[in-house]
Amino acid sequence: MSNNDFLDVVVNRRSIRRYKDNKIDKQEILDILNLAVKSPSSRNMQPWEFVVVESDEAKDNLSQMVYSNVQQIKTSSFALIIFSRQILEDNIEVVAEGEVVSGNFPAENKDEYVAYMKKSYASMDDDSKAHIATFDAGLLTANFLNAARHFGYDTNVIGGFVRDQVKDAFAPADNLNPAIVISVGIADEEGKTTYRIPAEDITKFV
């Protein structure tokens, strides 16, 4: 059941550590992801790919690579691994073609756009590219959490895992690095409410 109450989606989200035994249909997972990818990204390069870890065997494997979140992985309907693409320019051609097909800019502008983008990224060092890719993965993560809640599912963001092991076991390609793991399912607990520092205490107007 979808939840269209934005305030409820955001305010009442909880980090869940134990889930009910429930399978989520592949199409519904794709529907959640298609909402998540509406996230902004630097120059719209969308430097992310996903692996949905849903089989018991794969979840058991992944659970051995996290530091303290074994239950969240094993009881989840699935765990999502968000990979960040370190070579940002890999998506230039795909994005340019999509912009043309979508009618966002004319076909005659495509080659000029692609050349400009490639030249721009050629002047950027690898550390800057890696920072952008990781930052964009964070933006997408926030969108995914809200999208999952919209579809009636709960989540837990997991940042503590052995990155080399997760990459070796699950990465679809060598230029993809694991950024975030998210467990997803229907909560089998209330989840804790947590304190947030008021915006008034951490905001300065100039």
In tens, the pLDDT along 104-124 reads 989 999 999 999 999 999 999
Percent of the chain clearing pLDDT 70 (strictly above): 100
pLDDT at residue 6 greater than cutoff 90: no
**What CA dihedral angle connects 34, 36, 38 and 39, to 10 degrees?**
-160
d(CA 178, CA 159): 10
Q: Are 67 and 171 in contact (CB under 8 A)?
A: no
Residue 75 CA from chain centroid, whole number: 20
Q: What is the pLDDT of residues 147-174, one digit of tens each?
A: 999 999 999 999 999 999 999 999 999 9
Alpha helices (H) in the chain, listed in sequence order: 6-11, 26-36, 56-63, 70-75, 92-101, 110-122, 126-150, 163-170
Q: What is the pTM of this model?
A: 0.94
